[in-house]
């Protein structure tokens, strides 16, 4: 069966990847096939979502991915990394998402968080964290953006940070942070960083936006119990975060007033674009399951997949998967060219938002059609389709939701304010 890796190498700019780079992706794919695919139900905690079963399985699989180099793959050799080409990062995460997109989320939050330190030029803050990531043990990081009162309002560029209610007040050489975040991945689990979106004053708009590195052991930082969810039950832990006079050094703010806002919009855009490959990975998994299943099931003595009605649905699944992959690839190439402005500016944010909406609509449609083609077996626990369908809905909802992203898509063509 043709894989995402095959498509990337043959059709989508293979010269950017060396054979050595692609060997790393193959190693991840082989690990997923060998160690994750047979244990997908256990990652969910079994039929009853058993926490111990899930955590034991996640711990074993996470350590295995660390052992083959996933956690240190893209960091420089000088800090203990493998120095791999960053162009294969989405392929690696796509392969992990093919096994479990919650696990891919848990691992993918780490480079997403670290990218903020690097893009702001804060190697002084990022280097010790990256060295820790390269120590051979599993780690987690957290991007704390969303708040209970406003939800996606914080991510709305036309509101200029005014809805943010997590306040950072400068006292001497320290920021004192008070506020409340909800839904961040690895809340209460991160041992690397809680990169926190704050405001120094909501009335200052964009000038008040502050991105502050909060160490996991900061006094005054506390967490709720994990939120019970439809999918990603244990592989991606979401919890509320409470900041009660949390004090961190002044230098933990990534940039200066007025400079954190564009970096924040870059973070959102990177997250939206990266989500596409989670969706493509899950869609490929569903596609593989249904193609195999319809080979064995028969209608009037012939395989289901050879019947024109069913074959046309499978063909459309392939078209939509390839379309989402091509959309992602095109926007990635636009970003890499540096000809269209920074990724969080309106034009590129528009493209990233549209790509995520397209990919998320695609994967939900593909998983749903896979279930339809498999009938009651697709709905049954033992065939994984129901798990993929539960897991992927959140891909569509995070980072603003589809309606917010549609608005941001429009903002790439003309401006408006509330």
Q: What is the pLDDT of residue 5?
A: 54
Percent of the chain with pLDDT over 90: 87
pTM for the whole structure: 0.94
136-140, 141-145, 196-200, 296-300 — which is least confidently predicted?
Answer: 296-300
Given a cut of 90, whether residue 203 has pLDDT beyond it is yes
Q: How confident is the model at residue 418 (pLDDT cuts 50, 70, 90)?
A: confident
Q: What is the pLDDT of residue 298?
A: 75
| Pairwise CA distance, residues 127 & 108, whole Å | 18
Q: What is the pLDDT of residue 122?
A: 97
State pLDDT tens for residues 107-134: 999 999 999 999 999 999 999 999 999 9
Give 4-133's CATH code, choosing from 3.40.50.2020, 1.10.540.10, 3.40.50.300, 1.10.10.10.
1.10.540.10
Q: How confident is the model at residue 1 (pLDDT cuts 50, 70, 90)?
A: low
Given a cut of 90, whether residue 104 has pLDDT beyond it is yes
**Looking at residues 367-374, what average pLDDT do you find?**
96
Given a cut of 90, whether residue 165 has pLDDT beyond it is yes
Given a cut of 80, whether residue 3 has pLDDT beyond it is no
Considering the domain 142-252 in this protein, what is its CATH number?
A: 2.40.110.10
Given a cut of 60, whether residue 394 has pLDDT beyond it is yes
DSSP string, 23-43: HHHHHHHHHIIIIIGGGHHHH
Q: How confident is the model at residue 241 (pLDDT cuts 50, 70, 90)?
A: very high
Measure Cα distances from 7 to 91, 173, 231, 350 in Å.
11, 52, 29, 25
Q: How confident is the model at residue 12 (pLDDT cuts 50, 70, 90)?
A: very low
State pLDDT tens for residues 74-100: 999 999 999 999 999 999 999 999 999
Q: H helices within 338-384, ranges in order? A: 346-374, 376-379
State pLDDT tens for residues 247-282: 999 999 999 999 999 999 999 999 999 999 999 999
Q: How confident is the model at residue 13 (pLDDT cuts 50, 70, 90)?
A: very low
Given a cut of 80, whether residue 4 has pLDDT beyond it is no
Give the CATH fold of the 260-411 domain: Butyryl-CoA Dehydrogenase, subunit A; domain 3 (1.20.140)
Decide the pairing of beta strands 194-199 and 142-144: parallel
State pLDDT tens for residues 14-33: 446 788 888 999 999 999 99
CA 113 from chain centre, in angstroms, equals 11
Mean pLDDT of the chain: 94
Same fold, 4-133 and 260-411: no
State pLDDT tens for residues 44-65: 998 888 999 999 999 999 999 9
Q: How confident is the model at residue 152 (pLDDT cuts 50, 70, 90)?
A: confident
- Domain boundaries along the sequence of the chain: 4-133, 142-252, 260-411
Question: Running DSSP on this structure, what letter comes out for residue 16?
Answer: G
| Pairwise CA distance, residues 98 & 25, whole Å | 13
**Looking at residues 304-321, what average pLDDT do you find?**
93
Given a cut of 70, whether residue 408 has pLDDT beyond it is yes
Measure Cα distances from 120 to 102, 116, 127, 201, 261 in Å.
28, 6, 13, 21, 11
Tokens of 286: 């569903």
Given a cut of 50, whether residue 10 has pLDDT beyond it is no
Percent of the chain with pLDDT over 70: 96
**Looking at residues 331-359, what average pLDDT do you find?**
97
Given a cut of 70, whether residue 415 has pLDDT beyond it is yes
Tokens of 290: 């249904």
**Looking at residues 30-43, what average pLDDT do you find?**
96
């Amino acid at each position: 069966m043709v894989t995402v890796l095959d498509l990337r190498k043959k059709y989508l700019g293979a010269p950017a990847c060396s054979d050595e780079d692609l060997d790393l992706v193959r190693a991840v794919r082989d690990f997923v096939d060998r160690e994750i695919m047979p244990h997908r139900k256990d990652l969910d905690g079994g039929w009853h979502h058993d926490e111990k079963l899930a955590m034991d399985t996640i711990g074993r699989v996470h350590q295995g991915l660390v052992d083959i180099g996933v956690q240190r793959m893209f960091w420089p050799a000088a800090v203990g990394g493998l120095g791999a080409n960053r162009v294969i990062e989405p392929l690696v995460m796509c392969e992990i998402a093919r096994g479990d997109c919650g696990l891919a989320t848990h691992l993918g939050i780490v480079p997403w968080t670290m990218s903020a330190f690097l893009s702001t030029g804060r190697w002084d803050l990022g280097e010790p964290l990256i060295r820790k990531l390269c120590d051979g043990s599993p780690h987690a990081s957290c991007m704390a953006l969303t708040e209970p009162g406003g939800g996606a309002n914080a991510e709305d560029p036309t509101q200029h940070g005014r809805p943010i209610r997590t306040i950072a007040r400068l006292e001497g050489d320290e920021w004192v942070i008070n506020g409340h975040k909800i839904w961040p991945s690895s809340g209460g689990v991160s041992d690397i960083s809680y990169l926190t979106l704050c405001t120094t004053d909501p009335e200052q708009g964009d000038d008040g936006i502050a991105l502050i590195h909060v160490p996991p052991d900061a006094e005054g930082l506390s967490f709720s119990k994990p939120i019970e969810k439809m999918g990603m039950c244990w592989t991606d832990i979401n919890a509320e975060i409470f900041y009660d006079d949390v004090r961190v050094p002044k230098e933990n703010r990534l940039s200066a007033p007025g400079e954190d806002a564009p970096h924040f919009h870059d973070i959102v855009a990177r997250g939206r674009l990266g989500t596409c490959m989670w969706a493509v990975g899950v869609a490929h998994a569903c596609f593989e399951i249904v193609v195999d299943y319809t080979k064995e099931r028969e209608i009037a003595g012939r395989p289901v997949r050879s019947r024109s009605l069913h074959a046309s649905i499978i063909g459309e699944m392939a078209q939509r998967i390839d379309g989402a992959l091509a959309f992602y690839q095109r926007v990635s190439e636009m970003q890499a060219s540096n000809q269209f402005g920074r990724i969080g500016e309106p034009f590129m944010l528009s493209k990233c938002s549209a790509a995520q909406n397209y990919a998320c609509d695609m994967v939900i449609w593909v998983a749903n059609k896979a279930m339809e083609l498999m009938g009651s077996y697709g709905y049954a626990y033992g065939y994984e389709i129901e798990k993929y369908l539960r897991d992927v809905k959140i891909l569509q909802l995070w980072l603003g939701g589809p309606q917010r992203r549609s608005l941001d898509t429009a903002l790439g063509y003309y401006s408006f304010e509330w």
